[in-house]
Amino acid sequence: MNSEYVVFILSLLVILTAIINLIGVLGFYRFKNFYLRLHAATVSTIGGAFYPLLVLSIIAFIEKEHYIGVSLLLSAFLILLLSPTGTHALARATYRKRIAIPEPLIGDKIKEEEASS
Amino acid sequence: MNKKLIVITSIVVFSFILAVYTNLTESLGPLGLDTRFLGKLYVYFTNHEDLRLSTASLEPVTAIVWDFRGLDTLYETTVFAMAIIAIYSLFRIDSLEEKGSLNSSFTIIPRLVTKILLPINIAIASTIAFHGSISPGGGFQAGSILAVVGVLFVVIFSYYALNAKSINPHRTLLFMSLGLIAIVVVTLIPLAFDVFFDNAYLIQNQPKLDSAFGYPKRVGGLVFGGSIGLFNIFEFIAVSFGFLTAFALLSIPEHVFKEKLRGEESLE
């Protein structure tokens, strides 16, 4: 199989992640409250930063640019590690301080656990 | 309208007009499309094959910062050290007898991720320091990155946890001073060479026309840049521990100050 076609398809995937990024940004501006906006921000960091870096690293390995490929993989790994951590810490702090009202609320596990204990 | 906003806006507008004026009237020298002679010299002699003219560093910025005007950077480092010592003398706390809670208010997720990140951070900082004479970066940048380790540790765990790892302001200040002394020693070694052996100059890096003294250009095949490599490493130590001192002092809980510095409790 010709590697040029593979690179072309992978480049299309990178463009797709750019669209995901746009969706994330729109959500960040249009959603009503903090938790929903946090969700939109995570969409654009994982879909718009982690996946394109992964795809670009595959392209770099196909083009035999191993140094760039490894750097991209490392960056992707760091984003995968840091983005959910930051989101988790933000959401937890906001919930505990009762700054934002979670809405729409389907279930509240933390409250249930506090009530049961 | 807000008074502060007006003041800030007028300052920004004034400096912008001043910059445009000096550029238009060419008061700081003629503007040309050609590269200036001095600039060409800097780039040309950064990594010249004739060691008597070269700085032995592949990175022009580091070469210019440390070797072409080494005194300037030496004074910058001195100013930084003075600032840290000033902070240290303002926050004059002998010891932190109180043992606070080591428990973090964060869940396991941020704590675990921080534990994974700290070694990565240290590795990146040392890479930037040791590669200072090859790629952009150098001692100061690397030191700033390493100092983030301390901030992360205080935020995610606590100041007492940092203390429990036996990192306290006194010890970090000691290491900063050691780094600074090492920088001074590197600048003074050529003078000692001058006294005991042959002609040499202060903060000399590579051999000159009438002097044979020179720091190693390469160490084990890796471009080291003579004294530039040494400066980078010692500046890395001095800056990282200097910033750590400042951060550690600033993260001491406020009620401890109130007791110790202002003596508020004893007055009551």
**Is the predicted pLDDT of residue B33 greater than 70, yes or no?**
no
pLDDT at site B75: 81
**Is the predicted pLDDT of residue A105 greater than 90, yes or no?**
no
Per-residue pLDDT tens over the stretch A56-89 = 999 999 988 899 999 999 999 999 999 999 999 9
Residue A52 distance to chain B (closest CA, Å): 22
Q: Is B120 on the interface with A (CB under 8 A)?
A: yes
pLDDT at site B187: 85
As a whole number, mean pLDDT of residues B129-148 equals 87
Total domains present in chain B: 1
Say how far apart CA A60 and CA A73 lie, in whole Å.
Answer: 10
Which of A8, A13, A43 lies closest to A25 in space, CA to CA? A43
pLDDT at site B268: 45
Per-residue pLDDT tens over the stretch B200-241 = 887 777 777 787 787 887 787 777 778 888 888 999 999 999
Residues B216, B112 contacting (CB under 8 angstroms):
no
Say how far apart CA B206 and CA B202 lie, in whole Å.
Answer: 12
End-to-end alpha carbon distance in chain B: 44
Of the listed ranges A74-78, B83-87, B129-133, B235-239, the least confidently predicted one is B129-133
Residue A82 distance to chain B (closest CA, Å): 7
Contacts of A89 in chain B (CB under 8 A): 106, 109-110
pLDDT at site A20: 92
Total domains present in chain A: 1
Per residue in A18-43, is it b (16+ CB within 10 Å) or e — as a string?
eebbeebeebbeeeeebbbbbebbbb
Q: Is A89 on the interface with B (CB under 8 A)?
A: yes
End-to-end alpha carbon distance in chain A: 60
Q: Is A93 on the interface with B (CB under 8 A)?
A: no
As a whole number, mean pLDDT of residues B74-91 equals 87
Per the structure, the complete domain to which residue B246 belongs is given by 59-267
**ipTM of the shown complex:** 0.78
Residues B232, B133 contacting (CB under 8 angstroms):
yes
As a whole number, mean pLDDT of residues B102-126 equals 86
Per-residue pLDDT tens over the stretch B164-186 = 777 888 888 999 999 999 988 98
Q: Which residue of B has its CA nearest to A74?
A: B120
Amino acid, res. B35: T
As a whole number, mean pLDDT of residues B3-20 equals 92
Per-residue pLDDT tens over the stretch B34-55 = 777 888 888 888 877 777 777 7
Q: Do B110 and A82 touch (CB under 8 A)?
A: no
Of residues A36 and B268, more confidently modeled: A36
B231 is a domain residue: yes
Q: What is the mean pLDDT of chain B?
A: 82
Q: Is A88 on the interface with B (CB under 8 A)?
A: yes
Joined together, the tokens standing for residue A73 give 């993989």
Per the structure, the complete domain to which residue A39 belongs is given by 3-116
Q: Do B110 and A89 touch (CB under 8 A)?
A: yes
Mean pLDDT: which of A106-115, B156-165, B229-238 is highest? B229-238
Q: Do B109 and A89 touch (CB under 8 A)?
A: yes
Given A81, A84, A89, which is nearest B106 (Cβ)?
Answer: A89
Contacts of A84 in chain B (CB under 8 A): 109
Contacts of A109 in chain B (CB under 8 A): none
Q: Give the contacts of B114 (CB within 8 A, at least 6 positions apart).
A: B152, B153, B156, B157
Disruptive mutation site among A67, A79, A82, A85 for chain B (greatest number of B CBs within 10 Å):
A85
Q: Is B113 on the interface with A (CB under 8 A)?
A: yes
Q: Is B127 on the interface with A (CB under 8 A)?
A: no
What DSSP letter does each residue of B61-106 carry, written as one string? HHHIIIIITHHHHHHHHHHHHHHHHHHHHHT-------------SS
Find out whether the peptide bond into A104 is cis, omega within 30 degrees of 0. yes
Residue B114 distance to chain A (closest CA, Å): 9
Given B109, B116, B120, which is nearest A88 (Cβ)?
Answer: B109
Say how far apart CA A68 and CA A3 lie, in whole Å.
Answer: 18
Q: Do B117 and A81 touch (CB under 8 A)?
A: yes
Coil, helix or strand for B208?
Answer: strand
Contacts of B127 in chain A (CB under 8 A): none
Q: Do A85 and B107 touch (CB under 8 A)?
A: no
Residues B229, B182 contacting (CB under 8 angstroms):
no
pLDDT at site A4: 84
What DSSP letter does each residue of A20-73 carry, written as one string? HHHHHHHHHHH--SHHHHHHHHHIIIIIIIIHHHHHHHHHHHHTT-HHHHHHHH
**Whole-prediction pTM:** 0.78
**Is the predicted pLDDT of residue B7 greater than 90, yes or no?**
yes
Q: Is A3 on the interface with B (CB under 8 A)?
A: no
pLDDT at site B259: 74
Question: The domain that contains A109 carries what CATH number?
Answer: 1.10.287
As a whole number, mean pLDDT of residues B75-83 equals 88
Q: Do B109 and A78 touch (CB under 8 A)?
A: no
